[in-house]
């Protein structure tokens, strides 16, 4: 028989409080005091160890004990051969907690850096084109209402550029359905692709380009975005990062929770621009067009480098020109 | 003769909360790591561990509460919730029509899920070995969580205090401790009074700020100050309005929580809640600052501080002995509702 520990007993049927003492006799727990009870140790469930919460011992019939004297109870548990679970030992050790903190940061970093882009890529390619089309539906209509005016370029000029691009072969032979549309914009030179398959080219962009082959370079870059499912991947990634941030900070404030996705999105968009550049390089090379035409696109854009929307989240123009020239 | 003795037998039993930020930080970080490494599967066990710690640290009249939620049941609920929410979001991306159908479907099942979640939450809470419980019917759940909110939307939100009172009355009268029902006697009028008082203070502060802020901005423009100071003045005015919004939100929380708990009782035992605006605001502001500065590491400390303050502001005016409650013959309830309510982040405590 071990030393006894004072405890409060509740029978699970009424809220009546019984003052008892708990001791261990062989493989039996023994209660004495306001109520007498014996129960085999194996049938009892002991709550996990913490420093500031009350320890509890539950009986199979819903009755339970509350024990405030942590030190005496721990001694009793020790002599009866009870051992804390791994998680409890981690939670109770500062050293393990600090290691867990480091491991958490590392796991978050690895997820963000490797797992998420890979998963988003797989998911984006697995998505049927019809679903992807739906993602961009309505974006062009919205832009037409607020940002764009009809293009001032002649129909012959538009068709000429479309035909010229249609004659170019893609590096891997596959070619997603796409449509080149021209618009006059209030936001200056710009070109972008929508998941709906629309490649939008502004009049200002056409005017800025030194020659038509540079325009082909721009279109090849945008086709690269489409071929590589960049927008879909980005939507998947930002929603995943958003969901993660909401889980981490959600109960604090929605403002705090939306900050990380915004900041983390920047890195992905840089990687994506490089990938589209690589696609354009491959496409021009495949059609025997000198890469210098593509380089000239970024030289021209770099000259008006005072934060046009096209460049805001993109790698610096000089860096991209250097990359393209190095590929020659 | 009983009546004469009554005042003498009332004893104020304050709730105490013994959890500490540093201990919860260790539980939280281990939970976080295991949840990430297991791709969220462990989050169900994490929830059980967190709740067990918090419930076992909450004391009333010398005894603590206990959480009995089963991790496997919670995990199933969460998986169902993820599937449901993903289907809902994808439907909207695919076509607005399909999205609309999913929206109607969600609206149709949510009240039922909220009701089930209330049952799960209370059934899995016990005090002195006796479980809480939640009755109510699906009909009531649809009335209070679907029909009245729709009606409220059509009346430009004028029914909000009425709706709030009805929801709390439903929650607090259908809750049980063992076989004893809770009671709720705050009137619709008292909810309207609280809402109106809050809006009066909110608008008065806003008007004062606008008069001060707009006045100073106009003054700075009139005196032909340099551009930076004009923008500075404007930013200051906008910042002051934001700060005011942040200061009055705790006011609303304190007024509503005090109103609700000061009108809730368990049989003859009355609850009392004494949150104050100043203290609530101070805790919320410093918590937010702490979390932002530490990139989230302060979160567990913040949660414990806020919980401790809210819980310890509440007391039970025990009218005689607390030994007389009897357990009800209850049955296990599913955790699907709990999972969805968790993920949609409804706070049903207010």
Residue-wise pLDDT for B8-48, tens only, equals 578 899 999 999 999 999 999 999 888 888 888 888 899 89
pLDDT at B262 over 90: yes
Sheet of strand A5-10, all strands in order from the earlier edge strand to the far edge: A37-40, A28-33, A18-25, A5-10, A64-67, A55-58, A45-46
Does the distance separating the beta carbons of B127 and A53 come in below 8 Å? no
Does A103 contact B18 at a Cβ distance shorter than 8 Å? no
Residues of A in contact with B94 (CB under 8 A): 131, 134
Q: What is the pTM of this model?
A: 0.77
Which residues of chain B lie closer than 8 angstroms to A10, CB-CB? 63, 128-130
Could you tell me which chain B residue has the CA closest to the CA of A104?
B33
CB distance B75 to B44 below 8 Å: yes
Lowest mean pLDDT among B121-135, B247-261, B302-316, B330-344: B330-344
Residues in A touching B42 (Cβ below 8 Å): none
Q: Is B319 near chain A, with CB under 8 Å?
A: no
Which range (A127-141, A260-274, B22-36) has the least confidence?
A: A260-274
Q: In this predicted structure, what is the pLDDT of residue A11?
A: 87
For residues A295 and A284, what is the distance between their CA atoms, to the nearest angstrom?
11
Architecture of domain A5-82: Roll (2.30)
Query: Domain ranges in chain A?
Result: 5-82, 116-327
- Answer whether B31's CB lies under 8 Å from B50's CB: yes
Q: Of all residues in chain A, what percent carry a pLDDT higher than 70?
A: 88
- Predicted local confidence at residue A281, as pLDDT: 92
Q: What is the DSSP string of A195-214?
A: TTSEEEEEHHHHHHSSSHHH
What residues of chain B, 84 to 113, have a C-beta less than 8 Å from chain A? Answer: 93-95
Tell whether B20 is within 8 A of chain A (Cβ).
yes
- pLDDT tens string B80-118: 887 887 788 777 766 778 888 888 988 888 888 888 888
* Interface contact flag, B26 A94, Cβ < 8 Å: yes
Q: Smallest Cβ distance to B56: which of A47, A100, A107? A: A47
Most A CBs within 10 A among B33, B42, B68, B239, hence the mutation to make, goes to: B33
- A273-316 pLDDT per residue, tens: 888 999 999 999 999 999 899 888 888 887 775 544 443 445 56
Residue B221 has what pLDDT? 63
Whether the predicted pLDDT of A105 surpasses 60: yes
Q: Across the interface, do A252 and B299 touch by the CB < 8 Å criterion?
A: yes
Interface membership of B291 toward A (CB under 8 Å)? yes
- With beta carbons under 8 A apart, name residues in chain B contacting A91: 26-27, 30
Distances (CA, A) of A18 to A34, B52, B58, B62, B63: 5, 23, 20, 12, 12
Work out the mean pLDDT of chain B and round it to a whole number: 84
What's the pLDDT at B19? 93
Look at B19 and A53 and tell me if their CB atoms are within 8 Å: yes
Q: Which residue of A has its CA nearest to B346?
A: A251
Cα A250 to Cα B177: distance, rounded to the nearest angstrom: 31
State the average pLDDT for chain A. 82
Q: Name every chain B residue with its beta carbon within 8 A of the beta carbon of A97.
A: 25-26, 29-30
Whose CA is closest to A47, among B26, B56, B74, B75?
B56
Which B-chain residues 298-317 have CB contacts (< 8 A) with chain A?
A: 299, 302-303
Question: What is the rounded CA–CA span in Å between residue B232 and residue A153?
Answer: 44
Q: When comparing pLDDT for A316 and B170, which is higher?
A: B170
The verdict on A250 touching B (C-beta cutoff 8 Å) is yes
Pairwise pLDDT comparison (B210 vs A33), residue with the higher score: A33
pLDDT value at B79 more than 70: yes
The pair of structure tokens assigned to A308 is: 């046009």
- Please provide the distance, in angstroms rounded to a whole number, between the alpha carbons at the two ends of chain B: 39
Top-confidence range, A66-80, B137-151, B226-240: B137-151
């Amino acid at each position: 028989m071990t030393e006894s520990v004072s405890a409060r007993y509740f029978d699970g049927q009424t809220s009546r409080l019984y003052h008892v003492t708990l001791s261990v006799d062989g493989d039996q727990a023994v209660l004495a005091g306001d109520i007498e009870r014996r129960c085999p140790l194996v049938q009892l469930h002991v709550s996990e160890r913490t420093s500031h919460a009350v320890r509890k011992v539950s009986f199979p019939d819903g009755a339970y004990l509350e024990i405030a004297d942590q030190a005496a109870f721990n001694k009793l548990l020790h002599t009866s051969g009870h051992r804390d679970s791994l998680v409890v030992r981690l939670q109770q050790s500062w050293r393990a907690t600090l290691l867990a903190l480091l491991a958490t940061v590392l796991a978050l970093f690895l997820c963000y850096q490797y797992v998420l882009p890979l998963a988003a890529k797989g998911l984006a390619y697995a998505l049927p084109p019809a679903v992807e089309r739906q993602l961009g539906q309505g974006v062009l209509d919205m832009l037409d209402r607020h940002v764009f005016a009809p293009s001032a370029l002649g129909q012959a000029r538009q068709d000429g550029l479309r035909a010229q691009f249609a004659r170019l072969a893609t590096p891997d032979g596959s070619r997603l359905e796409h449509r080149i549309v021209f618009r006059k914009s209030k936001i200056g030179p710009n070109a972008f692709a929508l998941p709906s398959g629309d490649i939008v080219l502004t009049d200002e962009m056409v005017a800025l380009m030194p020659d038509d082959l540079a325009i082909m370079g721009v279109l090849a870059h945008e086709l690269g975005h489409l071929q590589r499912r960049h927008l879909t991947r980005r939507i998947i990634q930002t929603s995943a990062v958003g969901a993660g941030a909401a889980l981490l900070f959600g109960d604090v404030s929605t403002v705090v929770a939306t900050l990380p996705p915004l900041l983390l999105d920047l890195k992905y968009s840089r990687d994506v621009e490089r990938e589209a550049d690589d696609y354009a390089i491959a496409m021009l090379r495949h059609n025997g067009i000198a890469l210098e035409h593509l380089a000239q696109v970024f030289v021209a854009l770099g000259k008006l480098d005072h934060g046009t929307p096209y460049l805001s989240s993109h790698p610096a123009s000089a860096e991209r020109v250097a990359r393209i020239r190095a590929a020659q | 003769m009983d009546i004469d003795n009554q005042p003498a037998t009332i004893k104020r039993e304050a709730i105490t909360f013994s959890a500490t930020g540093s201990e919860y930080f260790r539980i939280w970080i281990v939970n976080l790591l295991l949840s990430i490494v297991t791709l969220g599967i462990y989050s169900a066990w994490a929830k059980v561990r967190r709740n067990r710690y918090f419930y076992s640290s909450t004391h009333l009249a010398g005894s603590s509460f206990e959480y009995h939620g089963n991790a496997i049941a919670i995990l199933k609920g969460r998986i169902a919730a993820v599937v449901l929410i993903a289907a809902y979001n994808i439907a909207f991306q695919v076509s607005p029509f399909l999205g609309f159908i999913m929206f109607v479907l969600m609206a149709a099942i949510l009240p039922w899920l909220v009701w089930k979640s209330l049952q799960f939450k209370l059934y899995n809470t016990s005090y002195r070995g006796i479980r809480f419980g939640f009755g109510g019917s699906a009909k009531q759940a649809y009335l209070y969580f679907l029909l009245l909110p729709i009606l409220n939307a059509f009346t430009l939100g004028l029914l909000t205090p009425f709706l709030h009172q009805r929801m709390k009355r439903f929650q607090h009268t259908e809750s049980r401790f063992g076989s004893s029902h809770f009671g709720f006697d705050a009137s619709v009028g008292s909810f309207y009074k609280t809402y109106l008082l809050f809006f009066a203070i909110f608008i008065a502060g806003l008007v004062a700020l606008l008069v001060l802020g707009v006045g100073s901005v106009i003054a700075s423009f009139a005196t032909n100050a340099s551009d930076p100071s004009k923008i500075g003045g404007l930013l200051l005015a906008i910042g002051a309005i934001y700060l005011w919004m942040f200061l009055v939100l705790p006011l609303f929380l304190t007024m509503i929580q005090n109103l609700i708990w000061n009108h809730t009782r368990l049989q003859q035992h009355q609850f009392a809640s004494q949150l104050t605006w100043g203290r609530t605001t101070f805790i919320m502001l410093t918590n937010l600052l702490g979390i932002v500065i530490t990139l989230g590491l302060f979160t567990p400390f913040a949660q414990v501080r806020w919980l401790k303050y809210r819980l310890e502001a509440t007391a039970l005016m025990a009218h005689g002995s607390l030994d007389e409650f009897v357990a009800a013959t209850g049955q296990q309830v599913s955790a699907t509702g709990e999972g969805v309510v968790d993920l949609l982040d409804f706070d049903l405590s207010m």
